[in-house]
Amino acid sequence: MTESIPRDALGRPLRDLRLSVIEACNFRCPYCMPADRIGDDHGMDAAARLSFDEIETLVRGFVQLGVRKLRLTGGEPLLRKRLPELVRRLAAIDGLEDLALTTNGSLLAAHAQALRDAGLRRITVSLDTLDPALFRDLSGGRGDLAGVLSGIAAAKAAGFAPIKLNCVLQRGVNEDGIVALATYAREHGHVLRFIEYMDVGTCNGWSRERVVPSIEVRDRLHAHWPLQPLDPNYRGEVAARHAYVDGAGEVGFVSSVSAPFCGDCHRARVSADGQLYTCLFAGAGHALRSLLVQGEDALASHVASLWEQRTDRYSETRRLEAGSEGGASRRHVEMYLIGG
C-alpha cells in the first residue's frame, strides 16, 4: 500500500480521476469528433479496452494516491456493454466518495434506472441546444433531441438529482439558446453549466472568435434573472457557481479559455486503453496497462512517480500567449479519447 499522497511539481495533489470506458461514440459533435474527420471505423478493438478487472485495479490504485472522485466518460460511456456491472464494482471501492458519469443522454432512457441501482450517484448530460434541428446538426446529424430529453427525464425519475447539464457555447452557432436552456433547467431543477469552447484535440478547427466568454453569458442571464456568486463546493471546482436570486437553483460557468484554473487542477485522465494523461491538452499519454497485471500497489507507485513530474498548465500558458490559435498549431490528445 502506497503511504504518501503525491504532489506534482507545482504542488498539486491528485484528487480527481476521469476514466474513459470507451472511445466510440454514436454522435459526431463538430467540436469533438467532426464527421468529415472521424469515420465510423475510427475506434479501437474491444480487446484494446481495459477489462472491468483492470479498471477496478486501476481505480483502487488511484484511490491509494488520494483520488476521491471518479467520473466515467467516453466517447459515449453508455455504449460500453454491461456498464452497470462496472459501476457496481467501482461503487464498492472503499475510499471513493463520489462516482459520476458524463453522457450525451441518447441511451439514458433505457439505462438510467440500472445505473442508479448499481450505485451511480451523479449524472451529467451534455445538452447544447433545445432547438431540434440545431441539435441534430450539433450531433453530426445523428442525435435526436426528444430522445435525450426523455433520457434526462428518466434519470430524474430514477432519483438522480440534481442532474447537471453541460452546454458548450459557440459564437454564431448556439449562443441564442442561452435563455431557453436556462429556462428549461430552472423549470426542471437541473443545474446548467456553460462551458467555453476549448481548443482540445486537433481536428475541430477551433478559433478564439468562436469562444463565447463566460462573463458575457453570465451578464445575459443576469439581465433575465439576477444572479449571485456562490462559494465553490470544494477547492479546485472548475465551475464558478451562481445562484438565481429568485431561488430557482443555480447555474455554473466553466471558463477554461477566459479564466484558466490550472493552479487548482487536481485531475488525471485515463483513456479506454489505459493511457494516463496529466492534462486535457497533453500531447502524449503514459501507458498503464502493463502495470495492472502487477496489481494496484505497483500501479499506484508508478502513477505517483509520473504525477510528481507533472508540470502541466496549458490553459494558463495559452492565455499568456494571447493570439495563439491553440489546437490549430499543436499536438493534443483528442477529446473523445479522454472524455473531457
Q: Which is nearer to ligand SAM, 31 or 62 (CB)?
A: 31
Q: Which amino acid does the sequence have at 106?
A: S
Length of the chain as a residue count: 340
Which of ligand SAM, ligand SF4, none interacts with 315 (beta carbon under 5 to 8 A by kind)?
A: ligand SF4
Q: How many CB atoms lie within 10 A of CB 312?
A: 19
166 binds, among ligand SF4, ligand SAM, none (CB under 5 to 8 A by kind): ligand SAM
* Nearer of residues 29 and 109 to ligand SF4, judged by Cβ: 29
**H/E element holding 103?**
strand 98-103
Q: Return the DSSP state at 120.
A: -
Select the binding partner of residue 112 from ligand SAM, ligand SF4, none (C-beta < 5 to 8 A, by kind).
none
What is the H or E stretch that residue 221 is in? helix 214-224
Nearest approach, Cβ of residue 194 and ligand SAM (Å): 10
In 3-state terms, what secondary structure has residue 79?
Answer: helix
The CB-of-298 to ligand SF4 minimum distance in angstroms stands at 26
Q: CA 340 to CA 334: how far, in whole Å?
A: 9
Amino acid identity of 15? R
* Interatomic CA distance for residues 190 and 160, integer angstroms: 10
Q: Cα(first)–Cα(last) distance of the chain, in Å?
A: 30
Nearer to ligand SAM, 6 or 340 (CB): 340
198 contact, one of ligand SAM, ligand SF4, none, CB 5-8 Å limit per kind: ligand SAM
What is the binding site for ligand SF4 (CB under 6 A)? Answer: 25, 27-29, 32-33, 74-76, 104, 126, 256, 260-262, 265, 279-281, 312-315, 336
In the complex with ligand SF4, which residue's Cβ is closer, 196 or 250? 196
**Quick one: 56 or 273, whose CB is closer to ligand SF4?**
273
- 10 Å CB burial of residue 99 (0-12, 13-18, 19+) is buried
State how far the alpha carbon of 241 is from the alpha carbons of 21, 128, 196, 245, in Å. 28, 19, 15, 13
Of the candidates 280, 198, 194, 196, the residue with the CA atom closest to the CA atom of residue 241:
194
Binding partner of 296, given ligand SAM, ligand SF4, none, CB within 5-8 angstroms per partner class:
none
Residue 312: contacted member of ligand SAM, ligand SF4, none (CB under 5 to 8 Å, by partner type): ligand SF4
Nearer Cβ to ligand SAM, position 6 or 75? 75
d(CA 312, CA 318): 12
197 binds, among ligand SF4, ligand SAM, none (CB under 5 to 8 A by kind): ligand SAM
Which one, 282 or 292, has the nearer CB to ligand SF4?
Answer: 282
Comparing CB distances to ligand SAM, the nearer of 59 and 211 is: 211
Min dist CB 76 to ligand SAM, Å, is 4
- In sequence order, the 6+-apart residues with CB closer than 8 A to the CB of 182 are 192, 221, 224, 225, 251
List residues near ligand SAM by CB under 6 A: 25, 31-32, 73-74, 76, 102-104, 126, 166, 168, 195, 197-198, 200, 204, 335-336, 339-340
- Write down the least CB distance from residue 203 to ligand SAM, Å: 10
In the complex, the smallest distance separating the C-beta of residue 239 from ligand SF4, rounded to whole angstroms, is 13
The answer to whether residues 34 and 204 touch, using CB atoms and an 8 Å cutoff, is: yes
* 279 interface partner picked from ligand SF4, ligand SAM, none, CB below 5 to 8 A per type: ligand SF4
- What is the chain's Cα-based Rg? 19
